Amino acid sequence: MLKSASGAFANVLKRSLVPAVRVSAVSVRRSHGGPVESDEEFDNRYEAYFNRKDIDGWEIRKGMNDLCGMDLVPDPKIIKAALHACRRVNDYALAVRFIEACKDKCGNKVNEIYPYIIQEIKPTLTELGIDTPEELGYDKPELALESVYHM
Amino acid sequence: MANYLMRRALINAIRVPVCARAGSTGNTELAKIGDREWVGYGFNGQPNYVDRPDFPLPAIRFREDTPDIKALREKEKGDWRKLTLEEKKTLYRASFCQTFAEFQAPTGEWKGVVGWALVLSSLAAWIYMAMKVFVYSPIPDSLSEERQKAQLQRMLDLKVNPIDGLASKWDYENNRWK
């Protein structure tokens, strides 16, 4: 018992004194921030996220809300994957809402980016039977909401 | 799957029986949402509904599950191309209160704000005028132009501040400003 304990202790001591791995000439730079994800990796990560077969409504909403909180417009392939995910959980409203949110993300470049997005996702829209917000008449205010102060 | 089970367990743990909901204090949020389906995390984990552009998908659906909506949700499980435009819109409005175009539409509130700001500023001007007319005594004689000129002449006569001040700028030989 004592022998094994002292042996273990010696081992620990040895390991702490002698570096186990020689520092190689080309070492990984240990700096702030860590590795930076490229745009393609980001797109692929989110596409894979939405493409998961057993994704549920909570996770879809989480992914979409996260995307809407970022300083970017989601790539059409992410949007396509998200629309398919909406189809799998049978939530039509979610799909339309996400297209609206992506349109909102275009900011003041909406006239340049949004037609491109629609053009890219058009096959998916027709395949799944999703109407764009414009086709539903949601590009302009449809209903007025009574002010809560006047109820 | 484990994720899903854990969430179900959590929801069941905080869910209270319907009869206990009405007056309970601990679960006021849950008591408020009625039969609405809790569909996501939302923006703070509470079952609440707000139309926000930065969190477009709130935690609960906007409308409660009526039999009509339930029937429509069954139909939604089929081909979406077979849904009519009306049904699509109903589905959207069951989940969400306002569209982006609606909750981002200008309210025109700025007109009232600017109007009231101007009204109150002019009110301040009227108060100032009233004070001038009814409250303050007339300004002193020493502020009249000839009194001020006399005062300046007196200062020059006294050679006030002759090194780098008033008197240094007056030419006493020619009686004019340097």
pLDDT digits (tens, 9 = 90+) for A76-126: 999 999 999 999 999 999 999 999 999 999 999 999 999 999 999 999 999
Strand partners, B170: B177
In a domain, A122, yes or no: yes
**Contact criterion met (CB < 8 Å) for A145 and B98:** yes
CATH number of the domain bearing residue A68: 1.25.40.40
A86 occurs within a structural domain: yes
User: Is residue A135 situated within a structural domain?
Assistant: no
pLDDT tens digits, B63-102: 999 999 999 999 999 999 999 999 999 999 999 999 999 9
- Which residue segment(s) compose the domain that A50 sits in? 39-128
Paired sense of beta strands B170-171 and B176-177, if any: antiparallel
Q: Given 3-state DSSP classes, what are the helix, strand and coil percentages for chain A, each rounded to the nearest 5?
A: 60, 0, 40
The confidence score (pLDDT) of residue B8 equals: 66
Decide if pLDDT at A10 tops 70: no
User: Residue A129: which of A87, A76, A97 has the closest Cα?
Assistant: A87
Mean pLDDT of chain A: 85
Closest by Cα among A95, A92, A94, A79 to A47:
A79
Q: At B149, is the secondary structure helix, strand, or coil?
A: helix
Is A85 within a domain? yes
Closest CA–CA distance from residue A73 to any residue of chain B (Å) = 13
Beta bridge partners of A127: none
Q: What is the mean pLDDT of each run of 10 residues along chain B (178 residues)?
A: 66 56 58 89 90 93 92 93 93 94 91 97 97 94 95 94 93 91
Number of domains in chain A: 1
Q: Which pLDDT does position B10 carry in this prediction?
A: 64
Gap from A37 CA to chain B (nearest CA, Å): 23
pLDDT of residue B32: 85
Among A90, A103, A137, beta carbon nearest to B76: A90
Q: What does the pLDDT read at residue B107?
A: 87
Show residues of chain A in contact with B76, CB under 8 Å: 90-92
Could you tell me if residue A92 is inside a domain? yes
Chain A residue closest to B39 (CA)? A58
The predicted structure's pLDDT at residue A28: 59
Question: Quick check: is A101 in a domain?
Answer: yes
Which residues of chain B are within 8 Å of residue A149 when distances are taken between CB atoms? none
Q: Which residues of B touch A (CB under 8 A)?
A: 1, 4, 7, 39-41, 43, 53-57, 73, 76-77, 79-83, 85, 88-89, 91-92, 94-105
Residue A68 lies inside a defined structural domain of this protein: yes
Task: Please answer whether residues B54 and B84 qualify as being in contact, where contact means their C-beta atoms are separated by less than 8 angstroms.
Answer: no
In this predicted model, which residue has the larger pLDDT, A3 or B156?
A: B156
Nearby residues of A65 by Cβ (< 8 Å), 6 or more positions away: B40, B41, B43, B55, B56, B57
- Tell me whether residue A96 is in a domain: yes
The ipTM, to two decimals, is 0.74
Mean pLDDT of A31-46: 87
Contacts of the segment A105-112: beta carbons below 8 A, 24+ positions apart: A105/A67, A105/A68, A105/A72, A105/A73, A105/A74, A106/A73
Distance CA B61, CA B33 (A): 9
With a cut of 90, say whether residue A36 has pLDDT above it: no
Q: Which residue shows structure tokens 């042996």?
A: A7
> Which of B63, B74, B91, B92 best probes binding to A when mutated, by most A CB atoms within 10 angstroms?
B92
| Of the listed ranges A62-71, A139-148, B16-25, B79-88, the one predicted with least confidence | B16-25
